[in-house]
Amino acid sequence: MATLRRHAGRIHYRRGEHVAGREDFAIDVRADGRTIRAYCEMEEGAITRDAGWTLDAAHWPVEGQVRVVQDGGLVGSSWYRFTPQGTECEALTAQRGRVSQSLEGRARYLGLHPLVGDGMIALARGRDAPGEEWPIAGVTCSYDIKGESTLVALPITIGVRYVGSEDVEVIAGRFRAERYELRWQPRWPAAQLWVLGEDAVFLRLKWEVSGLDSQLVRLATTNAPHSPQFDW
């Protein structure tokens, strides 16, 4: 099946003027869904993360995987499969060893902690009823802010509010964006998220809990048969 659109970009995790981490991502959009890939490096905690996942045409998760290394050692890796009945997880972690899990109930979202994945929350929420916060029930690999621990299947419900359309300035340029508010925990203040277009490509995330103002620094989009990542 032919790919309709391919996006590739880079995000900087910014603390003031300091770049505290980087994320390269790619999104391939097809008629039957999309595949997202990300590689992340974080100075704080010396963390690297490889992640990838697939959504169907209605933006429900199909499968995903994540691998985390910290301080030069493998924290673990996990694979997820989703059905209307629930979530299956197979994990291998330094702390728990081999783990097999099944969670009941259909998950609307898979959180693996790359920021490009926050755009997938926007796809799950949609743009109906601006101003209303909707609960999005999903699965995450970690409850930690940096996503560096646990790496199994953990249930989570995220409060997501669609704010509306507005212009946003980021390092990559000025864009007409869709703005959302994300509340990962009821006791936490909401994060501000801006995404681009029908594919909800990440533009910016500002969150006082992490102290980061993460921004897109470059983006390429093509209908060509190969990813624009290979042109950089």
* Helical residues (DSSP H) of the chain, grouped into ranges: 118-125
Question: What's the gap between Cα 88 and its chain centre?
Answer: 19
Kindly give the confidence (pLDDT) of every residue in the chain, 232 residues in length, as a single tens digit, with 9 standing for 90 and above.
677 899 999 999 999 999 999 999 999 999 999 999 999 999 988 999 999 999 999 999 999 999 999 999 999 999 999 999 999 999 999 999 999 999 999 999 999 999 999 999 999 999 999 999 999 999 999 999 999 999 999 999 999 999 999 999 999 999 999 999 999 999 999 999 999 999 999 999 999 999 999 999 999 999 988 888 888 7
Burial of 165 (0-12, 13-18, 19+ CB in 10 A): exposed
Asked whether the beta carbons of 194 and 178 are under 8 A apart, the reply is yes
